[in-house]
């Protein structure tokens, strides 16, 4: 596909055609419709790197399974989940923007890019299992994560992710 269009003297230049640039461009145009926005993309199609469905950077997610948002246990054995809650809140605000975008006609087919998927974190070893259990306890205490499950039972894990327990 060729999307080559050069805008003379753009007001805003966005590097990359992924979800971050698309959202920023949409917001800027809503705030100031006369802005001239130029997007530069190096790949042959739109949103093929970080925003591609098989990649994670720049995509919207609720922070449920990202262990990097809760990187370690505290000295008392608990896991501070404040950052995961912050990410979840940001994702909820993003969904509000998408609702606005749908209601205002900016988008018309949200199912093309809003797709809920199940989340699973898998660890191994006693220390990591203890960490994940403490992380689960911290998340489960917050209403955002109501219904989150934790298990060390092989049969249960096999139901969630059969390839982890087969063989």
According to the model, what pLDDT value does residue 98 have? 85
HSE, CB side, 13 Å, CA atoms: give it for residue 88. 16
- Within 10 A of 120 (CB to CB), how many other CB atoms are there? 12
Let me know: does 123 contact 152? Beta carbons within 8 Å: no
Average pLDDT, the chain: 86
Whether the model clears a pTM of 0.85, i.e. scores above it, the answer is: no
| pLDDT level of residue 130 (50, 70, 90 thresholds) | very high
Above 90 in pLDDT, residue 163? yes
Q: Which residue has the tokens 């896991």?
A: 79
According to the model, what pLDDT value does residue 165 have? 92
According to the model, what pLDDT value does residue 85 have? 93
According to the model, what pLDDT value does residue 82 have? 94
pLDDT single digits (tens) 74-125? 999 999 999 999 989 988 888 898 898 899 988 888 887 777 778 899 999 9
| pLDDT level of residue 17 (50, 70, 90 thresholds) | confident
- Residue by residue, DSSP assigns 90-142 as HHHHHHHHHHHHHHTTS-S-GGGT-----------SHHHHHHHHHHHHHHHTS
Let me know: does 81 contact 139? Beta carbons within 8 Å: yes
Let me know: does 29 contact 12? Beta carbons within 8 Å: no
| pLDDT level of residue 59 (50, 70, 90 thresholds) | low
């Amino acid at each position: 596909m060729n999307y080559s269009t050069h805008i003379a003297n753009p007001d805003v230049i966005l590097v990359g055609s992924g979800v971050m640039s698309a959202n920023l461009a949409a917001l800027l145009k809503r705030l100031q419709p006369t802005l001239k926005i130029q997007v530069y993309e190096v790949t042959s199609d739109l949103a093929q790197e970080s925003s591609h469905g098989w990649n994670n950077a720049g995509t919207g997610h609720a922070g449920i399974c990202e262990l990097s948002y809760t990187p370690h246990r505290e000295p008392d054995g608990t896991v501070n989940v404040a950052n995961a809650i912050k990410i979840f809140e940001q994702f909820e605000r993003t969904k509000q923007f998408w609702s606005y975008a749908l209601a205002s006609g900016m988008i018309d087919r949200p199912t093309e890019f809003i797709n809920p998927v199940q989340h699973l974190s898998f660890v191994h070893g006693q220390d990591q299992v203890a960490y994940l259990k403490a992380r689960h306890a911290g998340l489960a205490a917050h209403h955002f994560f109501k219904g989150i499950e934790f298990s060390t039972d092989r049969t249960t894990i096999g139901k969630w992710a059969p390839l982890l327990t087969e063989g």
